[in-house]
Amino acid sequence: MTETALPSFHVRTPLLESHPMSAALGARVLLKMEAFQPVGSFKIRGLGRACARAVADGAKRLVSSSGGNAGLAVAHAGRRLGVPVSVIVPRTTPEAMRAVIRAEGAEVTEHGASWDDAHARAGEVAGETDGALMHPFDDPIVWAGHAPLVEEMAEDLPSLVGAERPGAVVVSVGGGGLLVGILEGMHRVGWTSVPVIAVETDGAASYAASIAAGALVTLDAIESIATTLGARTVCAEALRWTERHPIESRLVSDRAAVDACERFAAEHRVLVEPSCGAALAAVHDPGESLAGRDPVIVIVCGGAGASPELLAGWRKRVGR
């Protein structure tokens, strides 16, 4: 099957101007609302594409090692493709997320203390069951599936703000799959000199560490509330892009990310994970990087692991 003939499971999301954030920044802030995807995050774009491809190529089962939004996206795509899904999650995966993944019809099995353990086991399960192992961020088809979100923005921008290109794009970085997809999309639409602000929380800063070292760095541990950004090593492609595109790494505190989640809920009536709050926080505290940039696009990556109870718990952990 050709790429265009593959089924897709995502929706075209709106690009909205945020009046409160624009007023605070002193420049127009536009929100790409990936929180409105069927599974609550952009993950369904790239993983939906990867799952459809794998099934078209004969996979009899889909296997994921993510107890987060990637696992949920695979579960959702598998249900819609009519194939069984196994999600192998580490002990740290919260029960609420396991329940959401199970509700999509997937089988959730616990293995090991960390994602690395679960990932190794998921590879074995795929081998034993004629299944396909879906990587959450390090796969060209996942990047290619994320990229069209930029094409949507390029279509919407002229009528929204009368500009052909933004002044900057702000995006959260976990393993770097979203970042790479966005960079691919930006080069497709000719935004080759528009700076990208790549945001991580202090305790999950594997991309910042790799940029500083000029080589891939593996963190010993993730110490952040933004567990969704907790890839100990980013994909090599994310580091390679620093040679081809202006990318600025930004770090924000867990507290700033949680503040931004609360503020986003109050101002826009949408709940997002701290992983997404991180990108929003980089606009609330713009520093030098956004000076003179207009309009600024923030990728509101979303996240299904957000609820009023969880938000209250994060607030407790970071303090006022």
Report the interface residues with ligand PLP, using CB under 6 A: 41, 43, 69, 137, 172-179, 228-229, 231, 273, 275-276, 301-303
Helical segments of the chain, H only = 19-25, 43-56, 69-81, 95-103, 115-129, 140-146, 148-161, 177-188, 206-213, 236-240, 254-268, 274-284, 308-318
Residue 47 near residue 145, CB atoms below 8 Å: yes
CB of 10 to ligand PLP, least distance (A): 13
CB of 249 to ligand PLP, least distance (A): 13
State the Cα–Cα distance between residues 244 and 242, nearest whole angstrom.
6
Minimum CB separation of residue 50 from ligand PLP in Å reads 12
Q: How far is the CB of 23 from ligand PLP (least distance, A)?
A: 25
Q: Which is nearer to ligand PLP, 27 or 47 (CB)?
A: 47
For residue 316, the minimal CB distance to ligand PLP (Å) is 21
Residue closer to ligand PLP (CB basis): 127 or 307: 307
Question: Which CB, 64 or 275, lies closer to ligand PLP?
Answer: 275
Residue 201: which of 147, 261, 128, 255 has the closest Cα? 255
Closer Cβ to ligand PLP, 195 or 303, answer by number: 303
Positive or negative: CA dihedral 144, 145, 150, 156: positive
Report the nearest approach of ligand PLP to the CB of residue 238 (Å). Answer: 8
Which CB sits closer to ligand PLP, 126 or 257?
A: 257
CB 230 within 8 A of CB 174: yes
Question: Phi-psi bin for 13: left (phi > 0), alpha (psi -120 to 50), beta?
Answer: beta
Sheet architecture: strand order including 29-32: 15-18, 29-32, 296-299, 168-172, 196-201, 247-252
Choose among 150, 271, 288: nearest CA to 280. Answer: 271
Choose between 153 and 280: whose C-beta lies nearer to ligand PLP.
Answer: 280
